[in-house]
Amino acid sequence: MSNLPKKLPEIKILDEKEKKLKEKSKEVTFPLSKEDKKNIKDMMDYLEMSQIEETREKYNLRAGWGLSYIQIGVPKRIFVMVHEYEEGKFKRYVIINPKIKSVSEEMVYIAEGEGCLSVNRPVEGIVPRHARMTLEYFDEQGNKQEIRVREELAVGFQHELDHLDGILFTDRIDKKNPFKDQNKYRSI
């Protein structure tokens, strides 16, 4: 926790009622501005703090591990993820201008349901996602990268990719039958 800020970064996460969340985000040009670099760091610090019980309780946060730029009101094709891969150890991802290279045929869903820091209510239903995917993207320095993700991380990446196209996870749940075809997919 030593390199985390002493207080919560001031970011305002848009609520699902905000029309801006439905906007399609635009490609990013390099180099990144100072403001973009600060936003990226603040978003990642916020996510990490939300996953640590002590700071989550101190600031009354909901735990989250992904945020897209559009969720802070900026329609740029950037998302960040902070994944706790081991108790108290986090891996940070900054994904800029992502393009999907490949996805698995196997589909999965999060057993307890997906959540979103922009959706402040419980939501029933499943969101079928690819179990594995490969993405091409740019890092903060503008270097082209490739990453292969699986299971929960793949679901998180797809959730954030949807945000870049103005899609919320709630849009992917069948309104008439929220658990439609559940038996066709593997729960994780």
CA distances from 167 to 38, 118, 161 (A): 25, 12, 9
**pLDDT band of 1, cuts 50, 70, 90:** very low
Q: What tokens were used for 19?
A: 């029309």
- Taking only the tens place, the pLDDT of each residue in 144-178 is 999 999 999 999 999 999 999 999 999 999 999 99
The CATH number that applies at residue 46 is 3.90.45.10
Beta strands at 107-109 and 186-187: parallel, antiparallel or unpaired = parallel
Residue 9 counted as domain residue: no
Say if 13 falls within a structural domain.
Answer: no
Q: Which residues are catalytic?
A: 160
Provide the 8-state DSSP code for 140: T
pTM (predicted TM-score): 0.95
* Residue 10 covered by a domain: no
**57: domain range?**
19-187
**Percent with pLDDT over 90 in the chain:** 94
- Tokens read off for 39: 């936003």
Q: Assess contact for 118 and 14: CB atoms under 8 A.
A: yes
Domain count, the chain: 1
138 within 8 A of 147, measured Cβ to Cβ: no
Q: In angstroms, rounded to a whole number, what is the distance separating the alpha carbons of residues 168 and 70?
A: 11
